[in-house]
Chain A
Amino acid sequence: MKATDIGSPDYFHKVVDCQWACPAHTPVPEYIRLIAQGRYSDAYLVNWKSNVFPGILGRTCDRPCEPACRRGRVEENQGEKPEPVAICRLKRVAADYKDDIRSRLPKPATRKNGKRVACVGGGPASLTVARDLAPLGYHVTIFDADRRAGGMIRTQIPKFRLPESVIDEEVGYVLDLDVDFRPNHRVQSLKELLGHGYDAVFVGSGAPRGRDLDIPGREEAAKHIHVGIEWLASVSFGHITKVGKRVIVLGGGNTAMDCCRSARRMGGEDVKVIVRSGFEEMKASPWEKEDAVHEGIPILNYLVPKSFAHDNGRLTGMTFERVKAVYDDKGRRSLVPTGEPEQHFECDEVLVAVGQENAFPWIERDIGVEFDKWGMPVLDAKTLQSTLPRVFFGGDAALGPKNIIWAVAHGHEAAISIDRFCHGENVAVRPPPMTNLVSQKMGIHEWIYDNQIVPDARNRVPLKELRIALKDIRQEVELGFDPELAWKEAQRCLNCDVQTVFAPKLCIECDACVDICPMDCITFTADGEEAEVRGRLNAPARNASQDLYVGAGLKTGRIMAKDEDVCLHCGMCAERCPTGAWDMQKYFLELTHAGPGCRDGAPARKAA
Chain B
Amino acid sequence: MTYLAKPKLHHPDLPANALGFTRRDYEGTISTLCAGCGHDSISAAIIQACWELAIEPHKVAKLSGIGCSSKTPTYFLDKSHGFNSVHGRMPSVLTGANLANRDLIYLGVSGDGDSASIGLGQFAHAMRRGVNMTYIVENNGVYGLTKGQFSATADRGSKSKRGAVNTDEGIDLAILALQLGATYVGRSFSGDKAQLVPLIKGALTHPGAAFIDVVSPCVAFNNHEGSTRSYDYVRNHNEAVNRLDVITVHREITTDYPPGSVQEVTQHDGSVLRLRKLADDYDSSSRISAMSYVQSRYAHGEIVTGLLYVEPDATDLHASLNTTEVPLNQLSEKELCPGSAALEKFNASLR
Residues of A at the B interface (CB closer than 8 Å) are 73-78, 445, 451-453, 455, 508-512, 514-516, 518-521, 539-540, 542, 555-556, 566, 568, 570-572, 575-579
Contacts and interface: CB of A to CB of B under 8 A. Distances in A.
Nearest to A454: B7
A78 B12 contact: yes
B247 to A, nearest CB: 21
A24 to B, nearest CB: 30
A506 B127 CA distance: 41
A510 B38 contact: yes
Contact of B8 (A455, A512, A572, A576): A455
B36 A518 contact: no
Contacts of A77: 12-14
Contacts of B193: 511
A384 B231 CA distance: 57
9 contacts: A452-B5, A455-B9, A508-B219, A509-B235, A518-B24, A542-B13, A556-B235, A572-B7, A577-B35
Contact of B9 (A74, A540, A556): A74
Nearest to B45: A515
A52 B145 CA distance: 58
Contacts of B35: 512, 575-578
B44 A518 contact: no
B121 to A, nearest CB: 33
Contacts of B6: 516, 518, 572
A430 B231 CA distance: 48
Given A510-B217, A576-B2, A578-B219, A568 B13 contact: no
A540 B12 CA distance: 11
Contacts of B8: 453, 455, 518
Nearest to A71: B9
Interface string B35-59: 1111011011000000000000000
A contact face: mostly helix, strand, loop, or mixed: loop
Interface residues of B, number: 32
B232 interface: yes
B36 A512 contact: yes
Contacts of B217: 510
B2 A575 contact: yes
Interface string B146-158: 0000000000000
B40 A515 contact: yes
A566 B12 contact: yes
Nearest to A512: B36
Contacts of B7: 452-453, 518, 568, 570, 572
B52 to A, nearest CB: 14
Given A509-B191, A578-B34, A78 B10 contact: yes
A455 B24 CA distance: 16
B162 interface: no
A277 B166 CA distance: 80
B223 A568 contact: no
Interface in B1-40: 2-14, 24, 34-38, 40
Contacts of B38: 510
Nearest to B48: A515
Nearest to A539: B11
Q: Which 4 A-B pairs have the closest CB atoms?
A: A578-B36, A76-B12, A453-B7, A515-B44
A518 B13 contact: no
Interface in B166-217: 190-191, 193, 217
Nearest to B217: A510
A515 B14 contact: no
Contacts of B14: 77, 520, 539
Contacts, number: 102
A444 to B, nearest CB: 9
A181 B119 CA distance: 89
A75 B8 CA distance: 11
A582 to B, nearest CB: 10
Contacts of B40: 512, 515-516, 576
Identify the interface centre among A451, A516, A571: most chain B CB within 10 Å of its CB. A516
Nearest to A542: B13
Nearest to A75: B9
A510 B41 contact: yes
Nearest to B232: A555
Contacts of B41: 510-512, 515
A598 B41 CA distance: 51
Nearest to A574: B35
Given A445-B4, A575-B4, A579-B36, A508 B9 contact: no
A317 to B, nearest CB: 49
A456 B238 CA distance: 47
Given A453-B8, A508-B231, A576-B35, 7 more contacts: A74-B12, A509-B191, A512-B40, A515-B44, A516-B6, A566-B12, A570-B7
Contacts of A577: 35-36
Contacts of B36: 508, 510, 512, 576-579
A59 to B, nearest CB: 31
A337 B34 CA distance: 69
Nearest to A76: B12
B9 A453 contact: yes
Contacts of B190: 511
A572 B4 contact: yes
A510 B35 CA distance: 9
Contacts of A520: 10-11, 14
B321 to A, nearest CB: 40
A563 B78 CA distance: 28
A489 B328 CA distance: 55
B44 A519 contact: no
Interface in B225-277: 231-232, 235
A579 B230 CA distance: 14
Identify the interface centre among B6, B34, B41, B235: most chain A CB within 10 Å of its CB. B6
Nearest to B230: A508
Contacts of A78: 9-10, 12
Interface string B304-318: 000000000000000
Nearest to B8: A455
A522 to B, nearest CB: 11
A33 B133 CA distance: 51
A578 B232 CA distance: 15
A540 B3 contact: no
Identify the interface centre among B2, B7, B10, B13: most chain A CB within 10 Å of its CB. B7
A560 to B, nearest CB: 14
Contacts of A76: 12
A164 B14 CA distance: 49
A586 to B, nearest CB: 18
A76 B13 CA distance: 9
Interface string B282-315: 0000000000000000000000000000000000
Nearest to B36: A578
A445 B40 CA distance: 18
A519 B37 contact: no
Contacts of B5: 452
B75 to A, nearest CB: 10
Contacts of B44: 511, 514-515
A562 to B, nearest CB: 13
Contacts of A579: 36
A65 B143 CA distance: 52
A445 B9 contact: no
Contacts of A540: 13
